[in-house]
Amino acid sequence: MTIANVIVDVPASQVNQTYDYSIPLEYRGVLKAGMRVVIPFGPRKITGFVIGTTDHSDYKNLKEILEVLDLTPVLTPELLKLGKWLADDTISLYITAYQAMLPQALKSSYKKEIVRLKDSRLSDELEQLFAGRDVLDYHELTDAPDANDQYRHLQQAIQDGDIYINYLVKSRAAKKYLTMIKPAKEMHILEEAYANLAIQATKQKQLLSFFITHPVSIEQSQLMKTLDISQSVIKSLLDKSLLTKEKKEVYRNPYEGREFTKTEKLSLTKEQSIAIAPIKDSIAKDEHHIFLLHGVTGSGKTEVYLQSIEDVLNKGKEAIVLVPEISLTPQMVKRFKGRFGSNVAVMHSALSPGEKYDEWRRIHRKEVQVVVGARSAIFAPFENLGIIIMDEEHETSYKQEDNPRYHARDVAIKRAESHHCPIVLGSATPTLESNARARKGVYKLVTLSERTNQQEMPHVEVIDMRQELHAGNRTMFSRTLVEKMKERISHGEQIVLLLNRRGYSTFALCRDCGHVQECPHCDIALTYHKNNHQLKCHYCAYEEPMPSLCPNCESNLIRFFGTGTQRVEEALSSVIPEATVIRMDVDTTRRKGSHERLLSDFGNKKGNILLGTQMIAKGLDFENVTLVGVLTADSMLHLPDFRSSEKTFQLLTQVSGRAGRHELVGEVVIQTYTPDHYSVQLASQYDYDTFYFKEMATRKLFRYPPYVFLTLITIAQENKVYVIQTAQEIAKLLMKHIQKDTVILGPTPSPIARIKDKYRYQLMIKYRNEPRLKAFIKKIMEHYAEEIRKNDLQITVDVQPYQLM
Ligand code: ADP
Ligand code: ZN
Ligand code: ZN
């Protein structure tokens, strides 16, 4: 083969096609589809993916490939095909699809070296090349005159496992510290010192007064920026021992040097045996089926996964296990590593690029047969897949909210199809979409309706918080919940408290004029962060200090509102002083290993109450937890999202499932302002089926998925008029090509109408059958390519959107 078809790394729709390049002599027979290359593109040198090789091109005077970046393909033939499908399915570029499949380390050009394994026996040519060394710079090879022969020998040696290519990723694991400044003395001493400072020491006074009003730890450079002071000012107060310095570690490196105790397989319950039978059958016969494993919390779904995987491994095949990011807890990892040991790779977003690459490489080199990971683990470069498992299939984090906007479930089904293997979608609360397919017989339904400990699901009590208010209780805890918490604590049992914060945030509000401090670049309220007393925008990087006076009316009654976990913790300690609380939220889990430490502290009974946000709702399994409380069950019911009832039902069911998983009987208290809402009511009765039918009827009435498909087009730019015009134009273009029963809603402003100074308008397309819609939207994107480039216009297309903001 003398010609390569290359997808080039230029993220623009005009170049979303393959380009032909001629293969230089030294790479002939070496270069294969799935490898990355460096090619000339216009005046630039860029990278690209070879997706095929051929001897014929319609073009003359082809340019030559400059460099080959891989000696073994990084994308398998299956993944190459999958990438093409993925790009078409999500209306994104081929290059973005391929890049989404690879670890970060392979996306940029890192220095490479060729490493020889200990005791390896190499051909004479390679011995000569290594000349007694264990490591070679990759460039030594590309510069060699007889490179072609060398490449062939190397490829063979890589295949034989005698050498490997190492990508030198800058190690993020190297520890990095931030310098934090905080008061060193009691408040009255600071105040005294302030009074004693010389009049002309204005900067020192300013700094000291800052800490008198904000007695917290703050990062040094942040402090300098906020107060516009130099380091010497800080130093003078440090020297006077009024302030003190501390080091705070950033970045983390989990699962390091951990040992996992080996677990043996359990003998299955009757229900489990019935559920697993068709899955095992499908594995044995290499048949592709989609199983929906609907099993209540605590019904032993994981054991079903583990024993299915065991069958797959016995056949010499491989398994992918997808777990939502927040469920990928050390407990979860332990269950898989405990059973399959070092045969398991873990792909977690908290890993550094270097660690991620190492895990990927273990898969690529076939050193492991099982990968457990979040969304992107679906692209694990296995070539002999025997099963794909997707736990908690209802989780919306399986949808990527960035190009390519894929749903891991769709990709998983596609891969299972090509490998003729089963896929198991597991959940206690399957999505309406999946359940509807199972009812139609498209998926095979298997059910686990009982807990493995034969216990009833914990009893749920719904508390009407309006009644509490009427009765004069102004705290965030109902009397029932407080009473039950006290009782559990006195018995030495433990409690999980969930603050449902989605849709909530702590914002700054003026009690006098009602002014809410918003981001100057985005139409959204700023969020208050207590640790450094800043207001931050969650959509752009903007932040400012919490004002002490209202910027609107100069009243000093500006306060932050909303319920943060910190406030709950404070309130809790005044209601139940004897309780020790372990708080888990983004703030307390930022430091390395802290997530794991907090959980193991709770497991070791170092706290009575585990208090946290969504991150504690899933996957946790503690023997001693007998009471689960949900503080604000309805906080997401009012979001502009047709899935809000479904999400509420799912969350309440999941969190209730954390109680009474072992010997002790559990109980649940749900606090809400809308006790009669069907998602609260039915979740408290564990009545999935009634919820399913009721919600389906609503979806049918208002024409929402799964009765129709949705595609969301968002248009954004700094000029509002231009955005509206463009949106109208696109709507018109679409109108000409759609079916009669297709509806286009909009253009309307997006729920967040401005982000980073760009106005946002959206079009929502609702349709039942539009086989040509994707192709047509692709054409529209090409039509606007020039404006996108010249005017910084953004058109984003989200096929089957989950985030409607
Ligand atoms: P789910 O994922 O469905 O919520 P789990 O897989 O966490 O449930 O199982 C709940 C508990 O039951 C776990 O502690 C697990 O070890 C235990 N378990 C699972 N299967 C069996 C079995 N066949 N016999 C005994 N205990 C089991
Ligand atoms: Zn005001
Ligand atoms: Zn902003």
Give residue-wise pLDDT tens across range 162-177.
887 776 654 433 334 6
Q: Considering only CA atoms, which residue is closest to atom 23 of ligand 1?
A: 268
Q: Distance (Å, rounded) from C-alpha 478 to C-alpha 463?
A: 7
pLDDT of residue 256: 46
Ligand 2 geometric centre to CA of 546 (Å): 14
The bound ligand whose nearest atom lies closest to the alpha carbon of 514 is 2
Q: Distance (Å, rounded) from C-alpha 350 to C-alpha 788?
A: 34
- Does this chain's domain 271-401+408-440 share its CATH topology with 709-798? no
The answer to whether the CB of 460 falls within 8 A of the CB of 685 is: yes
Quick one: which atom of ligand 1 is closest to the CA of 272? 23
Q: Considering only CA atoms, which residue is closest to atom 5 of ligand 1?
A: 300
* For the chain, the helix, strand and coil percentages under 3-state DSSP, each to the nearest 5: 35, 25, 40
pLDDT of residue 592: 64
Please state which CATH number belongs to domain 709-798: 3.30.70.360
| Of 575, 569, 580, the residue nearest 475 (C-alpha) | 575
Dihedral angle over CA of 542, 547, 549, 551, nearest 10: 0
Q: CA angle, 342 as apex, 340 and 348 as ends, to 5°?
A: 95
Architecture of domain 271-401+408-440: 3-Layer(aba) Sandwich (3.40)
Quick one: which atom of ligand 1 is closest to the CA of 299? 3
- Find all residues with CB under 8 Å of 358, minimum gap 6, and list them: none
| Of 42, 39, 46, the residue nearest 24 (C-alpha) | 39
List the structure tokens of 773.
Answer: 């819609």
Quick one: which atom of ligand 1 is closest to the CA of 268? 23
pLDDT of residue 372: 96
Ligand 3 geometric centre to CA of 498 (Å): 28
Q: Considering only CA atoms, which residue is closest to atom 1 of ligand 1?
A: 298
266: DSSP letter: P
Ligand 1 geometric centre to CA of 215 (Å): 47
Tell which one of 305, 452, 628 to mutate to probe ligand 1, the residue whose CB is within 8 A of the most ligand atoms: 452
The bound ligand whose nearest atom lies closest to the alpha carbon of 515 is 2
Ligand 2 geometric centre to CA of 536 (Å): 19
Ligand 1 geometric centre to CA of 251 (Å): 34
Architecture of domain 3-102: 3-Layer(aba) Sandwich (3.40)
Q: Considering only CA atoms, which residue is closest to atom 18 of ligand 1?
A: 300
pLDDT of residue 606: 92
Ligand 3 geometric centre to CA of 540 (Å): 4
Quick one: which atom of ligand 1 is closest to the CA of 391? 2
pLDDT of residue 428: 94
The bound ligand whose nearest atom lies closest to the alpha carbon of 537 is 3
Quick one: which atom of ligand 1 is closest to the CA of 295? 3
Q: Distance (Å, rounded) from C-alpha 344 to C-alpha 530?
A: 39
Query: Which residues have CB under 6 Å of ligand 1?
Result: 266, 268-269, 272, 295, 297-303, 452, 621, 661
Q: Considering only CA atoms, which residue is closest to atom 20 of ligand 1?
A: 300
- Find all residues with CB under 8 Å of 379, minimum gap 6, and list them: 79, 82, 100, 101, 102, 411
The bound ligand whose nearest atom lies closest to the alpha carbon of 509 is 2
Q: Distance (Å, rounded) from C-alpha 289 to C-alpha 295?
A: 18
The 10s digit of each residue's pLDDT in 477-489 is 999 999 999 999 9
CA dihedral sign, ordered 613, 483, 661, 271: negative
Ligand 3 geometric centre to CA of 225 (Å): 19
Quick one: which atom of ligand 1 is closest to the CA of 335? 16
Q: Distance (Å, rounded) from C-alpha 312 to C-alpha 781?
A: 43
pLDDT of residue 254: 42
CA distances from 472 to 21, 465, 466, 468, 573 (A): 77, 11, 10, 6, 20
What are the sequence ranges of the domains in the chain?
3-102, 176-250, 271-401+408-440, 459-502+564-698, 506-561, 709-798
The bound ligand whose nearest atom lies closest to the alpha carbon of 538 is 3
The bound ligand whose nearest atom lies closest to the alpha carbon of 557 is 2
Between strands 507-510 and 444-448, the pairing is unpaired
Q: Considering only CA atoms, which residue is closest to atom 2 of ligand 1?
A: 301
H or E element in which residue 50 lies: strand 44-54
pLDDT of residue 215: 78
Ligand 2 geometric centre to CA of 608 (Å): 41
374: DSSP letter: S
Give the residues across from 363 on adjacent strands. none
pLDDT of residue 175: 39
Whose structure tokens read 């799935």? 34
Q: Is the pTM of this model over 0.75?
A: yes
The answer to whether the CB of 426 falls within 8 A of the CB of 358 is: no
Give the CA diameter of the chain: 89
Q: At what angle do helices 220-227 and 202-213 cross, to 10 degrees?
A: 120
Quick one: which atom of ligand 1 is closest to the CA of 269? 23
Q: Distance (Å, rounded) from C-alpha 227 to C-alpha 207?
A: 7
The answer to whether the CB of 109 falls within 8 A of the CB of 138 is: no
The bound ligand whose nearest atom lies closest to the alpha carbon of 754 is 3
Ligand 3 geometric centre to CA of 357 (Å): 33
pLDDT of residue 172: 38
Q: Which stretches of the chain score pLDDT less than 50?
A: 170-176, 250-254, 256, 503-504
Alpha helices in 285-367 (DSSP H): 301-314, 330-340, 353-364
pLDDT of residue 10: 85
Give the residues across from 646 on adjacent strands. none
H or E element in which residue 318 lies: strand 318-322
Give the residues across from 495 on adjacent strands. 609, 627
Tell which one of 302, 332, 450 to mutate to probe ligand 1, the residue whose CB is within 8 A of the most ligand atoms: 302
Ligand 1 geometric centre to CA of 269 (Å): 10
Ligand 1 geometric centre to CA of 304 (Å): 9
Side-chain-side CA neighbours of residue 524 (13 Å):
29
Ligand 2 geometric centre to CA of 514 (Å): 6
Ligand 2 geometric centre to CA of 557 (Å): 7
Q: Considering only CA atoms, which residue is closest to atom 10 of ligand 1?
A: 298
Ligand 1 geometric centre to CA of 302 (Å): 7
Quick one: which atom of ligand 1 is closest to the CA of 657? 4
525: DSSP letter: B
CA distances from 34 to 98, 162, 233, 782 (A): 10, 22, 57, 27
Q: Considering only CA atoms, which residue is closest to atom 9 of ligand 1?
A: 300
Quick one: which atom of ligand 1 is closest to the CA of 267? 23
The bound ligand whose nearest atom lies closest to the alpha carbon of 269 is 1
Q: Considering only CA atoms, which residue is closest to atom 15 of ligand 1?
A: 300
- Find all residues with CB under 8 Å of 80, minimum gap 6, and list them: 33, 34, 49, 51, 98
The bound ligand whose nearest atom lies closest to the alpha carbon of 555 is 2
Quick one: which atom of ligand 1 is closest to the CA of 302? 6
Ligand 2 geometric centre to CA of 549 (Å): 8
Please state which CATH number belongs to domain 459-502+564-698: 3.40.50.300
Q: Distance (Å, rounded) from C-alpha 413 to C-alpha 628?
A: 35
Ligand 3 geometric centre to CA of 543 (Å): 8
| Of 462, 497, 457, 495, the residue nearest 688 (C-alpha) | 457
Ligand 2 geometric centre to CA of 555 (Å): 5
